[in-house]
Chains A and B, each alone.
Chain A
Amino acid sequence: EAQVTQNPRYLITVTGKKLTVTCSQNMNHEYMSWYRQDPGLGLRQIYYSMNVEVTDKGDVPEGYKVSRKEKRNFPLILESPSPNQTSLYFCASRAGTGGLNTEAFFGQGTRLTVV
């Protein structure tokens, strides 16, 4: 089954404690991205990757890091989380080729709370 898997689904952590949210896809997609969802703001892109070892900042990259060492994995790293990073996070992937209607697959979401 084609899917994007995020872990964990829920996470409560304390300010400053480094954490990683994993994202893995099984569709051999070139393009992967991370979003955060906040009330009244919709989903905003944090980082994206067009392929292995290629990453770019999205609209809200501050406080986040990513890596793309393998095609299937695109972890999101918060080196020193702060309460304003409390949010719902989504990973997504799609094929790098194809038109604008190329289907994007979203993970189940990770609800992060930083206290």
Chain B
Amino acid sequence: AQKITQTQPGMFVQEKEAVTLDCTYDTSDPSYGLFWYKQPSSGEMIFLIYQGSYDQQNATEGRYSLNFQKARKSANLVISASQLGDSAMYFCAMRELLGGQNFVFGPGTRLSVLP
């Protein structure tokens, strides 16, 4: 079964608008971490934001915030005030403490920001 699901293969957003990229996960481990990575067309993996399973508050990093709904097992990425440079692939990933802390990645969402 898929541990990380990203149901939006592609998304469009107008420049300066906010956009939400969906991510749901599946785990029975009470200790886990959720990550979002950005992959621009150049190919490198850029870390954006982290949320721990015991964190009480939603993580924020600049224009990025993570909407963490633990009971629903969802960890959506919200990008505020989209910029053209935000056009990229976005991957949601999880590491489980009992799973050796190996990354499990979702299939990704390709975001295109329109001028």
Report the count of interface residues on B (CB-CB < 8 A). 25
The answer to whether A33 touches B102 (Cβ under 8 A) is yes
Chain A interface helix/strand/loop/mixed: strand
Known interface pairs A88-B43, A100-B52, A101-B52. Does A42 touch B32 (Cβ–Cβ under 8 Å)? Answer: no
Q: Which residue of B lies closest to A38 (CB)?
A: B107
Q: Is A43 an interface residue (CB 8 A)?
A: yes
- Contacting residue for A45 out of B31, B52, B102, B106, CB 8 A: B102
Return chain A residues, CB-CB under 8 Å to B52: 99-101
Return chain A residues, CB-CB under 8 Å to B106: 42
Report the count of interface residues on A (CB-CB < 8 A). 26
Per the bound structure, the CA–CA distance linking A45 and B42 in Å amounts to 21
Return chain B residues, CB-CB under 8 Å to A45: 102-104
Per the bound structure, the CA–CA distance linking A41 and B9 in Å amounts to 11
Q: Give min CB distance, B35 to chain A, whole Å.
A: 8
Q: Identify the B interface with A (CB < 8 A).
A: 4, 6, 9, 31-33, 43-45, 47, 50, 52, 91, 93, 95, 97, 100-108
Q: Identify the A interface with B (CB < 8 A).
A: 31, 33, 35, 40-45, 48, 50, 56, 58, 88, 90, 92, 99-104, 106, 108-109, 111
